[in-house]
Structure formats: C-alpha cells, structure tokens
Structure 1
Amino acid sequence: MEERILGVLGGMGPLASAEFMRQLTLLTPAERDQDHIPAVLWSDPRVPDRTAARQGRGPDPLPALLRGIHGLEAAGAGAIAIPCNTAHGWIKGMRAATRLPILHIVEAAADALRAAGIGPGPVGVMGTAATLAMGLYQEGLRAGGWEVLLPTEEEMARLVSPGIALVKANRVADSHAPLAEAAGALAARGARAVVLGCTEIPLGIAAGPALPFPVIDTIEALALAAIRWARASSPG
C-alpha cells in the first residue's frame, strides 16, 4: 500500500498552521510515533494577503500558492490541506494545477456541524471580510440545508477584523474579547452554532472562557478531514 503523506499548505498565518499540525497530532488515534500521519508542512508567510487581493488592494496570491503546492508534490504529498479559509477562494486555480486532491475546509466544517448534531437551521459564520464576501460558507452550507447568519458590517469593523489582526500580531489573549462578542451576537440572533471560518479565530476564542453555545473550529474540522483521508486506504 502506498504511504499516504499529507501535504499542508500553510503560513497563512503561521500560528494557525502550527495549530493545525498540533491538532492533527492530538486527534490521530495513536499509541506510538509510527501510528501518526506522515505530513509535510509548507509554511510560507510570504504569500500575499488574501483579503487585500480580493479587495483589489494587493497582488494575486495564486502564484505563491502554486509554488507551495508544487513543493508539496515534490516532497511526495498524496493530498493537500490548507489551514486558511480565505485561500480557498483560489481553490479552482489550485486544483487545476495539481493532480493531488485538495481537502476543502468548508466541506470539513459541514461534516463537523453534522457530527455535532447541528442539523438544518440557522448557523453563524465568522471569517475575514474576503471569505464572507466570496460567499464560501454561504454557498457551501446553504447547499446542506443551513441558513447562514453573518456579522454586521459594524461587527466586522469593530470586532472580527481587529480580532483576527490581533492573533496575526501574536496578541492572542487580547483577541478573545472582540471575537467572543461577535460570536455571541450571532448566537443572540438565533445561530444554533457559530462556525469559526478563519483559522485565526479559534485561537482567539480558545484564549479565554469557553462560549456558552456550540462553535465549529475549522482547524479541528480540517484536521479530522485529513485524518479520514489518511485512514481511508491505510493497511489493515
């Protein structure tokens, strides 16, 4: 059986990529080193800002994303996980440039909602302005029967975007209050769960008291999807 090596296209941001690797390790059923999933992390923080690119304020990140994909191909990866939600706005271009399957973080989040028993109905989604503007979660979750609730423009400007920026600046503890307030506002408007659709957001939410409603950590969801891929054709 061919060894299944996971390629991780990371660096967007670096802390989120490191957390993905941590969760991949902790969530894998293992009793010894050899039970874990072989993985190669390509962590390149030089990838141009994805939100700025979508808003016409910065260069296209696709060439840098493809450079990472080709590096992972050369390293022997059999599939690719991308612990950055906004980067999935370029997934068509990435899939067109590689024979490798790319695990989709929105599909992983939908799987996590179902696993948590959150059936069709209203769910909140937090993310970067670009992720929400591209409709990645709106399209994917509505296809599964969920109604998607988003932060208001004021909540994005005052809470979500500053909270994400604080995590990227390594001020993780400071990010908890604004991100938790934004999530709470979605729950107050009827969200049965809140999808943390930016891989910086779970880090900020975890830096303070647990929230009194379900949240979907998209880093964890993607790690679980990667484990399912790795185990699907494993020997035994």
Structure 2
Amino acid sequence: MKDARVLGVLGGMGPLAGATFMQRLTLLTPAERDQDHIPSVLWSDPRVPDRTAARIAGGEDPLPWLMRGIRGLEAAGCGAIAIPCNTAHGWFDGMQAATRLPILHIVEAAADELLRLGITGGPIGLLATKGTLAMRLYQERLESRGHECLAPPAEEMDRVVMPAIELVKANKVSAAYAPLAEAAQRLVARGAKAVVLGCTEIPLGISAGPALPFPVADTIDALARAAIAWAKPAG
C-alpha cells in the first residue's frame, strides 16, 4: 500500500463546521483523481461541552472530551490533527502536550491566510465567539505580526454576533448572514483592512449571502490550506 499522510479531523464543534471543513479540504486540494486527495479521518462528536461556556461561565471542561477524540484519531493511524473550531484552541497547549501528533493551529493558519490575501499589517477586524475573544487567541498572535485587532463591542457581541453563531448551530444558516455581514461591515467602518472570521460557524453564515466587498480570512479555508501544506509539502 502506498504510504500517505493521514489527517485526523477533530470535529463536531459544531457538526456543520466540521463537515464543511472536509468539503473545503477536498475542493482546495490540487487533484485530478480520487487517489490525489488527502486520506483523512473525521471524528465528529457534538457532545463536547460548550467551549465559550467553559471559559467564561464556569461550564464543563471540554478537555477530556477533546482528548477522547484525539485518542481515537491516534488509534486510527493519523499523522496530524486539525480542529475546525477556533474556541477549542483555548485548550491547545493541553492537547498538544498530551499527544505526539502535531496539531495544526487554526490561528496560525488564519495569520498565514491574511498574508495570502496581501494583508501584511495594520488593523484587522475579528469576529469570534466571546470565549475566543476572552482568551485572546487571536490578539496575541496577530499583534506579534504587526496587526491591531478590532473586535465588536460587548453590546454588539450579545445582540448580533453570538445570536448569529447560534443560528448557524441551529441549522438556520441563511438567517445568520445579515447580522454577521452587519458586524463585519462595522469593523471595516472602524478602520479594519480585513476581517478574520474567527469562529468556524461564521464563514457558513457569511457564505449564505452576497460576497462582502472587503477581504475576509475564512478560518475553515485557512485550516484546510494548512492541512494540505502538511499532507503535501512542497518539494
């Protein structure tokens, strides 16, 4: 059997985001036949406790559930892990310390995506969950690359962004477009050169309507490109 790198995908957070990641991984892979695609295993477990609730409201710790998925992917023979959930990366250090497999970091992938879009510095809008913002997962990494991060104010997070994310999780994807587009446009009006869609539900809502007239970094696509680079290294 031809040796190939097998990608493990720790999904289910939410289920539609994980499924969309698999689709985008397939569509973005340079391929002319089945055998050119990346062998992959999707572990989709929607029982993982809510990551934002765990971080800011004393909810159940998701790490044991995340590690259960990682152990399953290890047993399946995977060589690396991609996690199409931004907020879950708040437990990145604990996960990485507990597995020999490299975990592709979605925030680093998003930073690389900004470079691919030609955005090398300056203000960046950040749409994400309240948990991701509270953990400063993006702020620290993007600021180290010369960006200033602009996030919606707390009132707008409660009124617009979090309800829109919940709409996507409830399979009401088209209804999420208008509020998410409004929030992104407000960030650009404040001076953002691009907007990072820093929750994997957000690209799903944004894709349900007309394309936005400014650069956006889709973290599902960014992570898919990072996975392709891992599986098919140049040279």
The residue number in structure 2 matching 1:14 is 15
- C-alpha separation in 2, matches of 1:217 and 1:140: 17
What's the counterpart of residue 98 of structure 2? Answer: 97
TM-score, normalised with respect to structure 2: 0.98
AA paired with 2:63?
Answer: L
Matching residue of 1:126: 127
Superposed displacement of residue 57, structure 1: 3.3
Letter in 2 for 1:208: G
Counterpart residue identity of residue 165, structure 1: E
Q: Aligned partners of 1:43 and 1:32: how far apart in 2? A: 26
Per-residue CA distance 1:62-82 (angstroms, 9 max, x = gap) = 000000000000000000000
Count residues in correspondence.
234
Offset at 1:3? 2.0
Return the alpha-carbon distance in structure 2 between the equivalents of residues 216 and 38 of structure 1: 25
Shift of 1:158: 1.0
In structure 2, distance between residues paired with 1:140 and 1:45: 28
Distance of 1:118 and 1:222 partners within structure 2: 18
Partner of 2:118: 117
CA RMSD of aligned residues (A): 1.0
Structure 1 unaligned residues grouped into runs of 5+? none
Output the amino acid matched with 1:150. A
Cα distance in 1 for partners of 2:3, 2:53 equals 40
For residues 117 and 49 of structure 1, the distance between their equivalents in structure 2, rounded to whole angstroms, comes to 34
Distance 1:185 1:153 in 2: 14
- Give the equivalent residue in structure 1 for 2:62: 61
Distance apart, 1:2 and its partner CA: 4.2
Correspondence list, 1:1-236, <5 A: 2-232=3-233
Q: % of aligned pairs identical?
A: 73
Opposite residue 176 of structure 2, the aligned amino acid is S
User: 2:160, 2:18 → 1: CA distance?
Assistant: 23
